[in-house]
């Protein structure tokens, strides 16, 4: 039986009304209501809407799952015992208040799930497909790869694809958590869930609905609940040992006083009194707050993080990242934009720069585009591409070479030897067999990367490094610019793995942050692996423990903060539940509280723990 069937609100209303009416009639001393069989029948009817489902659930756990010691068993024993000793209103109240608490907890869980399931709304079910020059509405699931779809301003993109038109602005908040719209160039990837901002666009689809980035997000977050954190696993193990112990203690609460009365004449044993205390003890002992609130805390942490563009693949990774004391970054595409810009020009006159730009303008290489943007020109030269070396073109009678130093070596062009020591990416230029100058380009740091050290230090992570395959001089320059003390270049993938292993031998908990493509070995080796801005990369999704949907390095610090905050709230709930229960259980055995106090204590503690667990959702929302 599903728990939702047990907690239906109308059942709670029926039982609550009958309980209140019965207590009022007893207080008014209504004559016909005073007969024992009337009282019993009235309260049995009041009990069934809330108690029958719980008792069925207990029986199913015992008969089908062979799990005797569950909260359902405890509640059933307590309510049956209350009927047995004539405490009919308390028997109904036990189940009623328990079910009310469960209903409130279910609502809290649903609230946490909504933070994740809201993503479904960002995946439209229909798409407008271009067919024979016209537009035809189809189910998104029926649209094949390679189809062209049209999306109007204000509408959500239904399928992943490539933007066919010129640049367009998209709201990417559903996928990345970014508040500002993003300008996406023609030919670039557009993901399902993005919202078109300014003008109609056409997109050629590259994936089916089930393979889209947002579908993978949903699948990943749903599966995250299956990967339990150590704290959650502790609660599960604790409950399995704890429940039979408290059942035994409840039995001993009755047996030990009876045995004591047999050897001590001064002690009067009253069976109903000690049975009542044992039942109170059972009700108090239900570990509802622990069993429900701790998993809810981790589920809430995963949900809140996903709304911030941080995808944890499981609660275990929320726990793992809180222990990180060292963060190692890849450089290109992680701390830097991956887009080159011209940093300086040497020896080239404006006229020469125009010739070079005219050669590069028709080339799609990132370096060529950076040069063309640095010196825009309407002039175009038909340049011959020499793969791996550069370009050759004729400008009137002049023969130009633009490319690497290897190109100049191949053409026997003499150039200053100090150019071989330049750390930046170099584009050398020669005219008619003579070196005339060069352009130096660099991969610029992301604006957000300038605050990464400070952000991590705020979370207590003070050891930050860069590992890169680029030249040591270039890595050192980026490290200095970002105030990162340790930067290592000229590294192959296996060198990075060896470096991570060395850090781990120093008892450091290492998180590696990369693009998830070239750094798969080191991602797999690190204690926590984080892929940045790589929702389009299958390897990143498969390899990394945490996916950052934006290209912001400071999201790493935010992920650490989320893991630590979640752990603190989970520990608070464990302490709250155990301390309050231990106190009230002692009072119950001593006869200083009754079933009413026991139920209020149990439900109250569970409700407080759930409210504390959902606090992480509210904090992240703000």
Enzyme catalytic residues = 330
Torsion of CA 550, 551, 557, 559, to 10 degrees: 30
Distances (CA, A) of 190 to 213, 369, 377, 424, 465: 10, 21, 30, 32, 32
Distance CA 424, CA 421 (A): 9
Q: What are phi and psi of 466, to 5 degrees?
A: -120, 130
Distance CA 232, CA 314 (A): 11
Taking only Cα atoms into account, the Rg of the chain, rounded to an integer number of angstroms, comes to 34
Q: Dihedral sign, CA of 255, 257, 258, 259?
A: positive
Question: DSSP code of 155?
Answer: P
- Pairing between β-strand 510-514 and β-strand 326-330 as defined by DSSP bridges: parallel
> Two tokens at 239?
């409950």
DSSP secondary structure string, 86-147?
T-HHHHHHHHHHHHHHHHHHHHHHHHHHHHHHGGGGGS-SEEEEEETTEEEEEEGGGPPTT-
Distance CA 385, CA 375 (A): 20
DSSP secondary structure string, 432-474?
TTEEEEEEEEEEEEPGGGGGHHHHHHTTT--EEEEE-SS-HHH
Give the end-to-end CA distance of the chain in Å, rounded to a whole number.
38
Distance CA 573, CA 612 (A): 7
Q: How open is the CA angle 378-384-388, to the nearest 5 degrees?
A: 115
CA 83 to mean position of chain CA atoms: 47
């Amino acid at each position: 039986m599903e728990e939702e069937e047990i907690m239906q609100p109308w059942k709670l209303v029926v039982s609550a009304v009958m309980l209140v009416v019965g207590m009022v009639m007893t207080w008014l001393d209504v004559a016909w209501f005073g007969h024992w069989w009337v009282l019993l029948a009235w309260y049995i009817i009041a009990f069934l809407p809330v108690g029958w489902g719980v008792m069925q659930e207990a029986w199913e756990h015992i008969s089908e799952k062979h799990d005797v010691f569950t909260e359902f068993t405890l509640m059933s024993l307590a309510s049956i015992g209350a009927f047995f000793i004539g405490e009919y209103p308390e028997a109904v109240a036990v189940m009623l208040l328990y079910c009310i608490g469960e209903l409130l907890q279910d609502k809290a869980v649903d609230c946490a799930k909504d933070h994740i399931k809201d993503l479904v709304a960002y995946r439209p079910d229909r798409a407008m497909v271009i067919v024979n020059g016209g537009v035809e509405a189809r189910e998104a699931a029926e649209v094949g790869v390679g189809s062209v779809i049209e999306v109007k301003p204000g509408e959500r993109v239904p399928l992943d694809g490539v933007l066919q038109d010129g640049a367009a602005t998209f709201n990417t908040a559903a996928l990345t958590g970014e508040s500002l719209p993003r300008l996406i160039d023609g030919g670039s990837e557009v993901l399902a869930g993005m919202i078109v901002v300014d003008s109609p666009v056409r997109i050629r689809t590259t994936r089916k609905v089930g393979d889209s980035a947002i579908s993978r997000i949903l699948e990943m977050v749903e599966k995250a609940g299956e990967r339990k954190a150590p704290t959650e696993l502790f609660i599960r193990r604790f409950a399995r040992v704890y429940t039979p112990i408290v059942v035994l203690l409840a039995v001993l609460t009755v047996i030990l006083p009876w045995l004591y009365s047999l050897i001590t004449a001064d002690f009067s044993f009253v069976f109903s009194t000690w049975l009542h205390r044992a039942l109170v003890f059972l009700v108090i002992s239900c570990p509802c707050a622990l069993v429900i609130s701790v998993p809810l805390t981790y589920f809430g942490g995963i949900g809140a993080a996903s709304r911030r563009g941080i995808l944890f693949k499981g609660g275990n990774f929320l726990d793992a990242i809180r222990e990180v004391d060292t963060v190692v970054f890849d450089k290109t595409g992680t701390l830097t934009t991956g887009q080159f810009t011209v940093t300086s020009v040497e020896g080239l006159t404006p006229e020469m720069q125009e010739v070079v730009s005219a050669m590069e303008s028709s080339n799609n290489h990132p370096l060529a585009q950076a040069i063309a943007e640095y010196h825009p020109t309407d002039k175009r030269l038909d340049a011959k591409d020499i793969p791996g070396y550069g370009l050759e073109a004729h400008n009137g009678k002049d023969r130009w070479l633009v490319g690497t130093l290897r190109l100049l070596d191949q053409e026997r062009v003499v150039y200053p030897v100090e150019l071989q020591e330049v750390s930046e990416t170099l584009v050398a230029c020669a005219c008619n067999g003579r070196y005339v100058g060069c352009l130096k380009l660099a991969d610029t740091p992301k604006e957000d990367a300038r605050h990464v050290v400070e952000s991590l230090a705020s979370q207590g992570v003070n050891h930050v490094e860069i590992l890169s395959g680029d030249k040591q001089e270039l890595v050192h320059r980026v490290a200095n610019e970002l105030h990162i003390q340790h930067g290592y270049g000229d590294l192959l993938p296996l060198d990075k793995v060896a470096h991570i292993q060395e850090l781990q031998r120093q008892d450091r908990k290492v998180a590696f942050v990369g693009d998830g493509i070239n750094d798969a070995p080191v991602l797999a080796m690190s204690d926590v692996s984080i892929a940045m801005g790589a929702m389009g990369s299958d390897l990143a999704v498969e390899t990394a423990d945490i996916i950052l949907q934006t290209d912001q390095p400071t999201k790493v610090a935010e992920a650490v903060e989320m893991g630590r905050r979640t752990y603190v709230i989970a520990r608070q709930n464990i302490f709250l539940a155990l301390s309050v229960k231990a106190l009230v259980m002692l009072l119950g055995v001593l006869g200083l509280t009754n079933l009413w106090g026991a139920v209020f204590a149990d439900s109250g503690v569970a409700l407080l723990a759930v409210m504390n667990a959902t606090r992480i959702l509210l904090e992240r929302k703000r």
